[in-house]
Amino acid sequence: MKIVTDKAPKVDVASILTGDEIAAIHEFMHHYPHARAASLDALKIVQKRNGWVDDAQVNAIANILDIPVTDIDGVATFFNRIYRQPVGRHVILICDSIACYLTGYEALSAALKAELGIDYGQTTPDGRFTLLPICCLGNCDKGPAVLIDEDTYGPVMPEEVAQLLELYA
Amino acid sequence: MSLTVAEQIAQRQNGLAPSQLNNQRIPIYGDKATATSETKPLTWRLAHHDAVLDFKTHESLRGFEALKMALNQSAETTLNTIKEAVVKGRGGAGFPAGIKWSLMAPPDGGPRYLLCNADEMEPGTFKDRLLMERLPFQLIEGMIISAYAIGATAGYIFIRGEYILAAERLNAAIDEMIANNMLGDNILGTDFSFDLHVHTGAGRYICGEETALINCLEGRRANPRTKPPFPQVAGAWGRPTVVNNVETLNNVPAIILHGSKWYQDLPKAKGKTETPGTKLFGCSGLVNDGGLWELPFGYTAREIIEDFAGGMKDGRQLKAWLPGGASTDFLTPDHLDVIMDFDTIQKAGSRLGTGLIMVVDEAQDMVALVRNLEIFFQRESCGWCTPCRDGLPWGVKLLTAINDGAGQEGDIEKLEGLTRDLWIGKTFCAHAPGAMEPLMSAIKYFRPEFEQKIATAVGVSAIDAAAQAPLGEQ
């Protein structure tokens, strides 16, 4: 009978994560009384490299924090902005909440989908953009709003979409 | 006036934050000569600078005066001042901060935590973004004073992951505070030590629920926890913890500086409300000049919509409004003259929530609008308890059917059933009841719109059935 343990299977962390990533995770661990609290910080650090987090990286984080892999994956899959599958070089998050709905979200959403030729949850064939809806971006007086990578824009009119996307190669 | 995308791109390259990209926000702070720490305690510094992003500038604008005053008196005195001022929590629930603080378990030598809830994700709310992007030192000063009052040893600002520049500015401010001995060990030579960190999220509205926030901070899935025990007894890592909203904590320095009586007297200028202090009120939706304004309590919704937000865009008619976020009940034009405070809005049948109004114009279809709201709540349910996890999608399914012309008789009653079954006491946290507030009130005020869509659908299906019946039966 195979004995299941709580511990993450040992992996060679240094072969999966870079030295900088490991150091950054350790830095965050010092912010909290328990290493587990750095779970989300660690996932965000690791996600910066490829835009998403793969299984090996999840294992490596579990090794560093010394908690079960399932706990890390539980956190990774709970939060909508940790991606467990590949995404495009740029992620476009369009606010579909009420304030933007009232100020033209539907027309902007249609324009983005038409310009990119994709629907929500899809990535353009050239790997440039992934399109996802997101709840309220806190930019309600300037709706409709979008967040592209780390940049918030609003209002964005449908006819301005092409011009905006040009900024993101 | 809103900026075009080209203008936004240009301003962004100058390092401006989203809350700065709006020229018409400037009138908020009124006449520069009259905006003072006593008249606009939350935003008066913005009358002098577009944003206060360095230690020296904050210090030159009466910064840290309150902190020094607080540290020169006992923690108990500081706590009592805030308690006497009655700072109703600005996150939406309106629970007085001083009472929240005084319910903390007594010190036992172990760690105690002060958490700032900066997970601003309530649809229609954009006030904490402005305070953090443009006045990071004010929040931090408020947190240190609050931490001193409750004996907290460490604090975290739990900020949503999408507020990237706000997090950067807060981190930079924390570094300057440490360098100036205002954070860390023995602050300003006293016995008081306090560490402060920024913790960024990665989505999920539920993180704004204080016990879910604590779980997230601990590196767990952000499911809410059962209460009791309340966080003040067993919160972060099982230790006494207080969670306060950004705007609530921003109130603290001025109250220390000017006293609780001054705070109590602020709204008296209007003489129409019992709620003390000022607040960031705001307006979004199809209005001419959406934005934020710091006002003493006492203004009506009509004044905010018409005088501050410039009225409805293009001469549209107001159909309904949400007083403070997606989880508050709709009110109608008949309610426009109610005072925007916690008690009055509650008497009108809604909640003040975050105090930022969203207006709905007459062109909006209420069924489609409520469906949008319920899709939000459905998606943001953490899935922990059954009524919320299963009930919210059911509501969306019914609303979608009604909206798409496939509604059936009895659907409205089913929705009303949900508003009872997903109500307070039947779910693990306030998420599902919050989702029911706009649904319940939309049915209450706009029932004919729901009925008409269903009647049309039922009529069409009756004609279809007749058309498909064998000829002999017609």
Nearest one of A45, A70, A75 to A59, comparing CA atoms:
A70
Contacts of A69 in chain B (CB under 8 A): none
Q: Check A103 against B285: CB less than 8 A apart.
A: yes
What is the average pLDDT value for chain B, to the nearest integer? 94
Among B26, B120, B162, B165, the strongest candidate for a mutation testing the A interface, having the largest count of A CBs within 10 A, is B162
What percent of chain B is modeled with pLDDT above 70? 95
If contacts are CB pairs under 8 Å, which of residues 4-23 in chain A contact chain B? none
Tell me: pLDDT of B474 over 50.
no
At residue B33, the pLDDT reads 63
**Residues B159, B164, B165, CA angle at the centre, nearest 5°?**
110
If contacts are CB pairs under 8 Å, which of residues 39-68 in chain A contact chain B? 39-41, 43-44, 65
Tell me: pLDDT of B341 over 90.
yes
At residue B470, the pLDDT reads 62
pTM of the model: 0.95
Confidence of residue B269 (pLDDT cuts 50, 70, 90): low
Average pLDDT of span B397-425? 97
Confidence of residue B317 (pLDDT cuts 50, 70, 90): very high
What percent of chain B is modeled with pLDDT above 90? 86
Confidence of residue A80 (pLDDT cuts 50, 70, 90): very high
Distance from CA of B126 to the nearest CA of A (A): 4
Write out pLDDT tens, residues B441-466: 999 999 999 999 999 998 887 777 77
Write out pLDDT tens, residues B118-170: 999 999 999 999 999 999 999 999 999 999 999 999 999 999 999 999 999 99
Q: Check B219 against A38: CB less than 8 A apart.
A: yes
Tell me: pLDDT of B29 over 80.
no
Q: Check B8 against A153: CB less than 8 A apart.
A: yes
Write out pLDDT tens, residues B32-64: 667 889 999 999 999 888 899 999 999 999 999
Q: Check B283 against A141: CB less than 8 A apart.
A: yes
Contacts of A43 in chain B (CB under 8 A): 202
Tell me: pLDDT of A25 over 80.
yes
